[in-house]
Structures are given as C-alpha cells and as structure tokens.
Amino acid sequence: MTTPSSPPVVLTLAGSDPSGGAGIQADILTLASLGCHPLSVITAITVQDTVGVNDLMVLDADWVNDQARFLMEDMPVAAFKIGMLGSVENVAVVAQLLADYPDIPVVLDPVLASGGGHELADEDLIGAMRDILIPQVSILTPNSLEARRLASSDPDEDEELTLDQCAERILALGCPYLLITGTHENTKEVVNSLYSPDGVVRADHWERLPASYHGSGCTLASAIAGMLATGLLLPEAVREAQEYTYQTLLNGFRPGMGQFLPDRMFWARGDDEDGDDAKPD
C-alpha cells in the first residue's frame, strides 16, 4: 500500500474572525481551496461581524511563539503567511521565528485597520514591523492606505505620497517585493502594482466591482502564499493569486448586514439557475 503524498503545508499567523470573512478563517479557507494544508497560529481573538470589529484581545507573545514552534518541529512548512499580529511583542517573536527559518518564503499582509475602519495597529507596532519584520519577508501586500502609513511616520504627509514613492521607501526597508493593491484609489479600474527594487514588475488591471468585501486582502495574501508553496515563482504566484481572488469576489455573497464575503470555494458550487444569485448587486 502506498502512502499518498502530503499537500504543501502553509503556516498562517493571524487574528481570529468569528464571521469567517477575514483573519485566520479566511486564510484557512483560501489555502484549503488551493490544495494546501493550513496550519493556524492565532495571534488575537476578535469580537466582530460583517459590519465591523467590536472588541479585540491580543494573545500573549509566549502563546503565539509556542503555537508556531510546536508546529514547526512537527511538520515541514513550505510558506508562511502573516496577518494581524496585534502587539510589538508578537512582532518580535514572529521576527525571531522567521530568522530561524530563513529559507521559507514569507507573505506579510500588514493589517493596520479593519475594513470598517477599526484601528488594529498603533505607531509602535508599525515601527516594529518596519524595523524587524519587513526586512525578512519575501513580499508585502498592503492596500494603498496601508502603504502610505508604512511609508511615512507623518500622518500629514500620507495623502501627498504617490504609490511609487511609497514603494521606494518600503522596499528600502529590505523586502524584495511589494504588491500595493489599488481598491481604495480613485481610479476607474483597480490597479494592483508589483514592485521590486528595480521598479514596477507588473501592473494588473481589474474591473472595479460595486460591492464592498470583508477579507479580500487576507484572501489575496493567503493565495500568494499557497501559490508559492506549490512552487511558483513570485511574480507568477502574484498573478495567479490575483486571478483566484478576483473570482472569489465575483462570486461573493452577503450573509449578514454588512460587507460581502469572498467565496473561496466558488469552484465547488454549481452556477445558480439564473446565474445571478451569487453576484453582488
């Protein structure tokens, strides 16, 4: 009897979202949909729904560290995906974890605020990310608002910065690739730009959808990690992850009173009889 080969293993570190829209639940759904086996290290527990975040409890850094270390000693990990960390102490233990496993690709989604605008990171945490975490990642995936906050410690300067200027400053911190998503920009299409120290590697244009989505950034970052875990080179992984994410949004659904949720398992469901029920109005 032969033993089937294991799927690629991806370790995600993120906060728990009980709505299943974002956070570690979104990571698990995305990675499983792409044929990976997700390992989940919870960094924080939230009280939230599809409308917004009501409360947040950050886990002690020792708990975050122990969760990850036990898993790393048991299973070979093909990629890391990092989401909300919640504290400077958690940034520090994750940075040390990455330093101990330097050959594993790392996707960092710098979650600084919820989709509803709830602040999830203060300036001390952002400073720690700049100093000890971003230099170790393979790719950073901020939206344009997050990119401006990471690029400048002066809030008055944020709106004045172009995304190219943000990219130059963030890449100077030491990460080799940066994907800035353009959902929040005032453009007809959504433009997602992948940068390296040599400039723009690729710029992908996507039709702007009418709905607002909870967890699209988590989905994209997890999809990139999943694609890297299967062996794709980074620019190709970014392209394929965007295509997957766009399909989850096209098939998004609104189970509650707030934002739409991406359908990470869209491929497993048949089309509705009229073909429209799964599409946002």
pTM: 0.93
Chain segment 140-172, per-residue pLDDT in tens = 999 999 999 999 877 766 678 999 999 999 999
Cα–Cα distance between 86 and 16 in angstroms, integer?
A: 11
By mean pLDDT, which of 111-125, 129-143, 150-164, 172-186 is the weakest? 111-125
CATH number of 9-153+160-251: 3.40.1190.20
pLDDT at 74 over 60: yes
Non-local (6+) Cβ contacts of 184 within 8 A are: 143, 144, 145
pLDDT grade for 120, boundaries at 50, 70 and 90: confident
Closest to 230 measured CA to CA, from 5, 7, 3, 4: 7
Chain segment 21-60, per-residue pLDDT in tens = 999 999 999 999 999 999 999 999 999 999 999 999 999 9
Average pLDDT over residues 112-123: 72
Domain ranges of the chain: 9-153+160-251
What is the token pair recorded at 169? 């400053």
**pLDDT more than 70, % of the chain:** 92
The C-alpha angle 93, 104, 136, rounded to 5 degrees, equals 50
**pLDDT more than 90, % of the chain:** 85
Average pLDDT over residues 256-271: 92
pLDDT at 179 over 70: yes
Provide DSSP, 207-261: EPPSS-BSSHHHHHHHHHHHHHHTT--HHHHHHHHHHHHHHHHHT-B--SSS-BB
Judge whether 158 and 142 are in contact, CB under 8 Å: no
